Structure 1
């Protein structure tokens, strides 16, 4: 039988990247000692107020069809949020709602790219980026992020990577997997290069509210870039509500109008009861994000204290988010082999850096979304494993 070429373009770009995570889940089903440090799923529940709003809306009959742009309540709330943030008027025609950031990214890329176009992506990058770029037939142009620069995208590296086929920069700050946060000045310099080369900027801002000490900055907030930036985000991380799948894209009105028929063809609206919950989340000061910020910052510090002086390991301190990168090159293993053997031999499941692009080959990513005592136990197992690897290597060398 014949299949559409998109199935070939996306082959091995789905669950294959989560191979070790899925293997860990299999082991955990029969072995309670497995500690999972793979995915970015908050370990706190959504605020009770959000659950109450959602349940009340369902009981009130908010279970009927919506519309392609999004429920008025959440569209208006988003327009107000971004008007406050940018200091300029953001209207309802600048907003499109989607079930999560992932769907927003997919739709946005389908609306911007043709077969043969190229997207610049700082590398390492989130595991699904390559798939949303390949889906319309575009290619990915990795821009290496340098550890010695704190995984902050350097303007000169971006400009060196641009080709005549470049159409979009997919920017992610706060960054997954490194936790790097670009400053306003850094973003302005990057934006100037995008203006010079007439590039769109798609800005994934899902970790906006989980910065530790650095200030969040967005290209969408700079007036000189407003006509070329689409910001995507959701309540998945900020409000500990990943399963509700509530996200959005905010950008130029013309772009949103052109993308609306695509959105309607895919979804024709989300769930009104989830929109009501999202509108409440966007218009009320809830403690969820602040609590996670403090907790994840403390856990990142604990990992650094316990692992940074371990032979063969180097911790990359994050500035935001819910992950820590660990450079394991000193153990003599690649990130993938380290992660696989760590799971099989010490029952700790981490993500190999290779799931996040070519630049992640010597890295593994640890999630901060487990209780402190489990994280401490995982650090002990990782330290012991790395120590054994280095000791064996030294014995073989003598």
Structure 2
């Protein structure tokens, strides 16, 4: 059977592939430590679980408006005012089946065949695939390690063509954990305003920051940038609610209206119970968010020390999210492997440590390590990686 052309060029997720291999080894009885996870290892806070239970028992199990419940939209609007000082109306918000679905729907309504979206490298694995599914063209710009993997205004300017429709800014970043300062965002934003480019601001990790530098949304810098920016966010990372699948997009009314119309024909609406749970996440205590952040911060400090002590491994220290993205190219050479992907496969087979190859993020010299597991496991994983590198010298 002949499949549609749009799916023939899709690249399988490298994260899911390595996770599947690790699960296969675990099922065979091996002691595998997986550092591929893209989700917090904490359970959803109790008061959020209680809100979902209450919603079920009170009969909130029916269809909701395609763009999300009134209560959740109000909670999101309140959150944006409290956190960023930004004012939005309900028709500037769409609730989606996860932040990934918000991005997918945005590209579907924004892009025509041949439209270009500037994607800084390294990138989250789904950005280019979603752009291609919308018949757009991802334009990769190498945000170099020497600049902490951050796009510069000059790089952006040089990448713009008459077909450029949008640019993606992800801060804090997956996979690098780096953040843009207000000044850096403003400089990039000025280029976008000058060329009338939509800014897709992926802020899903905004609550997981481990520095005095605050999270800044592109939309809060100026009224012009607010109009130009579509914010993507959700409760998956901030409140450990990955499986609940609640994300959202905020921005231009025309864009949000189109996204809502499309969603009405694709998903009908996000799960009703999950929306009530998400409302509770934003409207009630944020204590568990703070507890989780502190735990991640402690893990980051320790894991960074352990990983950078390994011969041939260098790493830009992250400021947010829950990933390290070390450059292991020297270690790969020391160990006699042709490339990072082969090195990772051998590491998994010999030491039973699962990493994600940077090639899936557009950075073939790097690997992604998630520290969303216990400190004991992180320490053991670092010991195994170091042993592997030393033994293969």
Kept in 2: contact 1:20–1:339 (CA 8 A): no
2: CA distance, partners of 1:197 / 1:285? 42
1:97 pairs with 2:100: no
Of residues 51, 54, 66, the one that matches 1:53 is: 51
Q: Provide Cα deviations, 1:340-361, integer angstroms capped at 9, x if missing partner.
A: 111011100010000111xx11
1:317 CA displacement: 1.2
Judge conservation of contact 2:67–2:93 (CA < 8 Å) in 1.
yes
C-alpha separation in 2, matches of 1:310 and 1:102: 34
Local SS of the residue matching 2:28: coil
Matches within 5 A, 1:201-280: 201-213=199-211, 214-222=213-221, 223-280=223-280
What is the rounded CA distance, in whole Å, between the counterparts of 2:35 and 2:249 in structure 1? 29
CA contact 1:18–1:355 (8 Å) conserved in 2: no
Shift in CA distance, 100/304, structure 1 to aligned 2, threshold 3 Å: same
Q: Which runs of 5+ in 1 are unaligned?
A: 392-398
Residue 321 of structure 2 corresponds to 321
Question: Cα gap change, 1:139/1:157 in structure 2, threshold over 3 Å: closer, same or farther?
Answer: same
Structure 1 pair 72–49 and aligned structure 2 pair: CA distance change class (3 A): same
2:385 pairs with 1:388: no
CA shift digits 1:298-351 (9 cap, x unpaired): 212212222213211113211001111121111214321221111011100010
CA distance in 1, matches of 2:310, 2:84: 44
Q: Once the two structures are superposed, what CA deviation does each residue of 1:84-124 show, in whole Å capped at 9, x if it has no partner?
A: 34434311011000010110100000011011111101100
Q: Which residue of 2 is the match for residue 356 of structure 1? A: 361
Q: Deviations over 1:255-279 (max 9, x none)?
A: 2122221111111112222111111
Q: Residue by residue, what CA displacement relative to the aligned partner does 1:194-221 show, whole Å, maximum 9, x if unpaired?
A: 1111110111110010011121011122
Structure 2 stretches lacking a partner, 5+ long: none
Instruction: Name which of 177, 197, 205 aligns with 1:179.
Output: 177
Q: Shift of residue 17 of structure 1?
A: 5.6
* 1:372 aligned partner: 375
Alpha-carbon distance between aligned partners in 1 of 2:15 and 2:314, rounded to the nearest angstrom:
23
Q: Is the 8 A contact 1:93 1:256 kept in 2?
A: yes
CA 221–110 in structure 1, closer or farther in 2 if over 3 Å, else same = same
Aligned residue pairs: how many? 386
Tell me the TM-score normalised to structure 2 length: 0.95
Q: Secondary structure at the match of 1:248?
A: strand
Q: How far does the alpha carbon of each residue in 1:44-88 deviate from its partner, in whole angstroms, 9 at most, with x for none?
A: 111100001101111111111111111111011112222334434
